[in-house]
Amino acid sequence: MLIAGCIFLSSCSGVMYLGDHLPASNSVQVYYDAKDVKRDYKVIGHLGGGESSSTDLESTKTKMIERAKSIGADGIIFVEIYTKPGSSDGASVKADAIKFNN
């Protein structure tokens, strides 16, 4: 049990979350633009992925999806990739966690 907890925590490291916590979900729909979501929904929180190199963005995406599952989101909308001007340190990724309305 302790090992599983450590693995879970490390898999979400680097992903910040601010919002509601609901029962965990089994799957999360991935969107890259809010207009692509064809169902009514509400934003339940905001996710932020820490500094990632351009080659590590896929890993950040995976971690954010796993975090969205853990907080009970039905979907995640990736809204921004931000790089500091003049910096080669990497990029930050922002996303909205959403819950579909019934």
Say which range, 4-8, 30-34, 81-85, has the weakest mean pLDDT: 4-8
Q: CA-CA distance, 29 to 11, in Å (whole number)?
A: 19
Whole-number average pLDDT of the chain: 84
Q: Please report the domains of the chain, with CATH numbers, ordered by start residue.
A: 2-100 (3.30.110.70)
pLDDT of residue 52: 59
Tell me the per-residue pLDDT of 41-58, one tens digit each, with 9 for 90 and over. 999 999 998 765 655 788
32, 79 contact by CB (below 8 A): no
Q: What is the mean pLDDT of residues 55-81?
A: 92
